[in-house]
């Protein structure tokens, strides 16, 4: 049974009626542009064909009654006011209601069922998919005048300020702006979006190390501070810059000598990563997958050596992927220290790629990585049932 069918089936079983609508919001994977978002740079995610689904109907009182079909749990909470966070799965829909209410929107009460096939903790941003699915549901049921980017920003606010997870806006932007067959170039300074066609016959393969990112939060914050300090020093020689986004590779070649060695490495990763994202966009448009793959490999090496956020597990999977004919490139995706790699491969090469990744990983670590094959998907939407 598909997650959409599960959501509708559980809704009918639980509430004794049919839902008025079903909303869908996809997960995402980032093809290239890692740790560039908080440096006001560029990222290139794709929305994937795995999504969170919400089957819902309005109710007359300002209450949300939500059932999580996959967990067998439910939550009932007021929308006026939204109660404080509880530290569980329902904080995501609660946080969305809190952020929408804080924006001044009056929300319809609703009965809802959530079902999803976005794996939790596998680097496909299951939390953003859930947030956007509920935001889109309320947008539809309540008749909210809310365009896609503002909806993504409100979902980010829910995660930052209500749930308490400090994230950028890429995940939510990819979920609302996804387009079938396309990647999404996001300018993290202006939030401008450009859809970039991914050539047909290509598969996006995500391999999960099954290592969770215990170090990621503290190291992530340290990297942000290091980037800010690099900007402070470089601004003495490049007046007017406010982020590493404003520094070109040529600038860094001229003025990098003023940075301590560690900060030079961090800046070099970010500055060249922004350039690589734009190179990949041009290469996709030209159908030049060899250039795309080379940039992905360079990105992984930079994340490993200059930004120092890789791990033996991530390196093993990326290097194994590079060995497979028909795999153009692979790199770690996400904050690092665990999680996943993403690879771009011909569809005909996917079976051998999956076998080789599992063999290499099992030989070194004695366990089997989870491998998912994805396609670029459309963004958030709702339909009447």
Which tokens hold the place of 180? 């079938």
Cα 307 from Cα 19, distance rounded (Å): 48
Give the closest residue to 243 by CA, choosing from 35, 31, 18. Answer: 35
Question: What ranges make up the beta strands (E) of the chain?
Answer: 21-32, 42-59, 63-68, 73-78, 109-116, 182-187, 193-197, 202-208, 327-333, 340-346, 370-374, 381-384
Contact 276/298 with Cβ under 8 angstroms?
A: yes
Burial (Cβ within 10 Å: 0-12, 13-18, ≥19) of residue 190: exposed
Cα 371 from Cα 123, distance rounded (Å): 12
Give the closest residue to 91 by CA, choosing from 82, 104, 100. Answer: 82
184: which strand partners?
A: 195
Which tokens hold the place of 291? 């250039």
Cα 90 from Cα 68, distance rounded (Å): 9
Reading across the β-sheet that carries 340-346, which strands appear in turn? 327-333, 340-346, 202-208, 370-374
Q: Is the dihedral of CA 293, 317, 371, 310 positive or negative?
A: negative
Contact 23/136 with Cβ under 8 angstroms?
A: yes
Active-site positions read: 171
Cα 171 from Cα 152, distance rounded (Å): 8
Interhelix angle for 126-141 vs 148-157, to 10°? 120
Interhelix angle for 261-286 vs 289-305, to 10°? 170
Question: What are φ and ψ of residue 41, in 5° steps?
Answer: -105, -145
Which tokens hold the place of 19? 């839902």
Half-sphere exposure of residue 300, counting CA atoms within 13 Å on the CB side? 27
């Amino acid at each position: 049974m598909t997650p959409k069918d599960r959501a509708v089936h559980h809704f009918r079983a639980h509430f004794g009626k049919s839902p008025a609508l079903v909303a869908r919001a996809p997960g995402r994977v980032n093809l290239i542009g890692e740790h560039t978002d908080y440096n006001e740079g560029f990222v290139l995610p794709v929305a994937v064909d795995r999504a969170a689904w919400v089957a819902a109907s309005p109710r007359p009182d300002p209450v949300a009654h939500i059932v999580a079909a996959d967990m067998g749990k439910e939550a009932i909470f007021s929308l006026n006011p939204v109660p404080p966070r509880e530290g569980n799965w329902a904080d995501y829909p609660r946080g969305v209601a809190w952020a929408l209410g804080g924006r001044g929107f009056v929300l319809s009460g609703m009965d809802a069922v959530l079902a999803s096939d976005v794996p939790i903790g596998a680097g496909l941003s299951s939390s953003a998919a859930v947030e956007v699915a509920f935001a889109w549901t309320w947008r539809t049921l309540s008749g909210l005048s809310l365009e896609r980017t503002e909806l993504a920003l409100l979902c980010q606010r829910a995660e930052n300020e209500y749930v308490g997870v400090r994230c950028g806006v890429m995940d939510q932007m990819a979920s609302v702006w996804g387009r079938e067959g396309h990647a999404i170039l996001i300018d993290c300074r202006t939030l401008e979006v450009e859809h970039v066609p991914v050539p047909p016959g290509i598969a996006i393969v995500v391999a999960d190390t099954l290592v969770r990112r215990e170090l990621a939060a503290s190291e992530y914050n340290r990297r942000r501070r290091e980037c800010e300090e690099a900007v402070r020093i470089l601004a003495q020689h490049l007046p007017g810059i406010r982020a590493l986004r404003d520094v070109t590779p040529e600038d860094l070649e001229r003025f990098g000598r003023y940075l301590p060695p560690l900060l030079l490495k961090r800046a070099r990763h970010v500055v060249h990563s922004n350039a690589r994202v734009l190179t990949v966009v041009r290469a996709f448009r030209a159908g030049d997958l060899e250039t795309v793959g080379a940039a992905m490999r360079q990105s992984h090496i930079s994340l490993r050596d200059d930004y120092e956020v890789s791990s033996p597990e991530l390196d093993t999977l990326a290097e194994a992927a590079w060995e497979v004919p028909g795999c153009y490139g692979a790199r770690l995706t996400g904050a690092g220290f665990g999680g996943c790699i993403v690879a771009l491969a011909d569809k005909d090469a996917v079976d051998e790629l999956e076998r080789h990744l599992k063999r290499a990983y099992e030989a070194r670590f004695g366990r089997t990585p989870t491998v998912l094959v994805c396609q670029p998907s459309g963004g958030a939407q709702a339909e009447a049932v």
